[in-house]
Structure 1
Amino acid sequence: MSRQTQDLYGYHKWANQRIFKHLKSLPEGIDEKEVQSVFPSIAEVLSHIYRVDQIWFSVMKGEAFDETMEVVARVQKEIKGKNLIQIEEMYQNVSEAFQAFLEDQDNLDKIIECAHPEFGRLETPLSQLVQHVVNHGTYHRGNITAMLRQMGYAGVPTDYIFYLYELAQVN
């Protein structure tokens, strides 16, 4: 199971990198253009993915709810007003830390406790939290594709199967 969990996170990182690369190939400022969608801009979607990755990374490291809320406040300030290149760099840093954390774990199915004042207490395997991060990112990469199409641009394929094909070609 641990290899599968690491592969899923590798996919998440790969898919986000493809999005950043694609956005940089489009006219400058496309990420800041306002659209009528779930988020007001692609930059807001990217910031949201980054913030949520940071939140769940905090939870997976065993930080208490209050500590995680401090992470949320810090990350909100850090990302405000950042451009595409800066957001990509911030994402790259957290994804490398996230990946190193996962590689350092002896048991990716160990139980993690999540305590939330509204939702209560949850005990779940670390691997399922990674799956949540991946699913969350996939959902919002879909938002980005829809927003790009709305602006007259194609998206970039980020399906898991394309990740597997690319891995097969490298190996």
Structure 2
Amino acid sequence: MFHEIVAQLDNMVSALQTLLYVDVVQPFFYRFGLMGFDEDTYDALYWVIIGVLEIVVMYLALRPLEALRPIELWQDRKALRADVIYTWIIKLGIINIAFFFMLQPLFFHWQSLISIYDIPNVNIDGLWPGVTDQPVVSFLIYLIVLDFAGYWYHRWQHRFGVWWELHAVHHSQQQMS
């Protein structure tokens, strides 16, 4: 039952992804000569749609609870604008998309060097055959690795100038929301 619901939601997101991609993204990319980013953008569009859905679900679930039991009373709801805009920017991955476009030539260069010098990729699923290729074990390993990476990413956002400027909004809330 749960698997069927998730599969139906995934099919709906995939259909929307294809529709938006064919009718909006591809014509835009073609018009501005960006077709070299075509394939990567199709994959990223899926996660942008997921981000929009995540924001909608959060709003539909949390806004009624906030109205019923507010943590604090707000004199002016305009104070929330920065938080709302920041949430949209982060959840939709706008910063990540900007970094992708800026750093993509560097990544292409690194990938070519890795290929030229035959540097092997790390395949976590194949580290310990029979154990790490089990879905639950693989999930737990990736969860730990990605959580560790996310922790350091967040720490670096506090440490480095440009990242801090982008991240400081997250720490500047005037009211709970």
- Settle same-fold status: TM greater than 0.5: no
Q: TM-score range by the shorter chain?
A: under 0.3
Could you say which structure has the larger radius of gyration?
2
Question: Which structure exhibits the higher relative contact order, with contacts defined as CA atoms closer than 8 Å and separated by 6 or more residues?
Answer: 1
The TM-score with structure 1 as length reference comes to: 0.26
Between Structure 1 and Structure 2, the one with more helix by share is: 2
